[in-house]
Structure 1
């Protein structure tokens, strides 16, 4: 598997207290520090710097429907971006794995694209496509594209040489080698890429919502409008929702990875 601990062991370890207890302790300590710091600032009359945890929880409890609707807007944008960017990157990775000369020409351009801050693309996309969902999905797709391309290309090139020689000795066609060997060998790399890009896609969607100031929904829009009016409780509530969203996405990928690799690449779990 390309990077990360064995998936099966990771998933099983979630159910052990030794795995999640340190994280719970860290969250409790963080909440305590937050409470002390916020209370100190309130006592100093600086209520605009940091809200109390109770105020943030009250904000979440008082308008759960609003946060769920905005979370769905941001999440659906992120997932559409992953679908678009991931499919394009996967298709290009397959082509580049079969045509090394083309890979040497395209990869430097992809590196340049990856080093350009995504926020630089966002205003141009908003001007071109308006304030709807399209520019946000495109921004997210740009964020996703390069990590999937590079990681999946490495996975496609990592097919076992012995198995490759056997297939070639049997006069297997390129498509047969791809379907029977290269793609199954690249599955761990694909899930490694997904573990990286799914949280990144949420970041990309939020950045796009920041830039597309005319948007009416989304957690990024909620953060922008709340911060502009110095209402920090909704800002921190949205941040908490985004954090939970990222954790759930990562957990979903790990669970799906375990099942898929157990079926299609049992030796690479």
Structure 2
């Protein structure tokens, strides 16, 4: 292994070490408090109990987690498609930009906690209301990231292509699209974390399977340990999907990731 690779890995470990140490300290304090106070596990189970009961019920939790991840990915795919269509259309039409962007902002004032039950009433307990809730909470950051990314394209490059007789589509393909990808992937990382939360919340309101309905069932059974175990699994799923966005960025826009790493 070369010295540069070791130094790079060492830098990454050092970057995340404070957060890991803080998390470990909080978990240790939680464990000590539960042991010293003698608080009921129904109110606050210890981390050891959460891990033990989560592992004991791993098959059931894994089944619900699989359902949640599937819904998350489907809903996110819908949101991603809508975001690209809207952002591309806005980039080609200044009038549409003035009409759509304010509506995008207004859409974020809608309380999801109030909209999600309405989705269940209107569309039942199938997959459609879950997809709509996920799309509602995730398409705004991705759409806005794309719109701003397209607008940040280098003006001189655009002018050069125009002087060479390039069409608007060619300008979009060779200048505006590459310029938008770094901001898009930043928005993608925000959106994917919202997607998991949106999926769990939509299941919590009404579903037959998924981590959200599992948490609701265990809450009603006063199994706080299993509720927290499901919360941990939800966090792990979010982190895994978040990290996958870096893999996608490295494959689709390696120059953007290299530029970010170079500025650190």
Structure 1 length-normalised TM: 0.88
The answer to which of 237-246 and 119-128 deviates more is 119-128
Match among 216, 220, 229 for residue 221 of structure 2? 229
Alignment check: 8 A CA contact 1:226 1:232 kept: yes
* In 2: Cα distance, 1:76 partner to 1:17 partner: 31
What do the CA deviations read for 1:120-170 (whole angstroms, capped 9, x no partner)? 221121112111111111100111111111111000111111110011111
Alignment check: 8 A CA contact 2:86 2:143 kept: yes
The structural deviation recorded for 1:13 is 5.3
Q: Does 1:245 align with 2:237?
A: yes
Change (3 A) 1:162 1:23: same
**Matched ranges for 1:187-202 at <5 A:** 187-202=181-196
SS state at 1:121 partner: helix
* In 2: Cα distance, 1:22 partner to 1:211 partner: 37
Q: Does 1:18 align with 2:14?
A: yes
SS state at 2:108 partner: helix
Alignment check: 8 A CA contact 1:119 1:208 kept: no
Change (3 A) 1:69 1:160: same
What do the CA deviations read for 1:168-192 (whole angstroms, capped 9, x no partner)? 1112111111111111111111101
Change (3 A) 1:221 1:26: same
Match among 27, 32, 40 for residue 31 of structure 1? 27
**Match for residue 252 of structure 2?**
260
Alignment check: 8 A CA contact 1:14 1:20 kept: no
* In 1: Cα distance, 2:174 partner to 2:259 partner: 15
**Match for residue 183 of structure 1?**
177
Change (3 A) 1:209 1:87: same
SS state at 2:253 partner: helix
Match among 104, 112, 116 for residue 122 of structure 1? 116
Change (3 A) 1:75 1:177: same
Which consecutive residues of structure 1, in runs of 5 or more, have no partner in the other structure? Answer: 1-8
The structural deviation recorded for 1:197 is 0.5
* In 2: Cα distance, 1:112 partner to 1:13 partner: 43
When the two chains are superposed, the root-mean-square deviation of aligned CA atoms in Å is 2.0
Matched pairs, number: 254
Q: Does 1:92 align with 2:86?
A: yes
Q: Does 1:106 align with 2:91?
A: no
The structural deviation recorded for 1:106 is 1.6
Alignment check: 8 A CA contact 1:77 1:137 kept: yes
* In 1: Cα distance, 2:154 partner to 2:81 partner: 24
**Match for residue 3 of structure 1?**
none
Structure 2 length-normalised TM: 0.90
**Match for residue 140 of structure 1?**
134
Alignment check: 8 A CA contact 2:72 2:134 kept: yes
**Match for residue 5 of structure 1?**
none
Which consecutive residues of structure 2, in runs of 5 or more, have no partner in the other structure? Answer: none
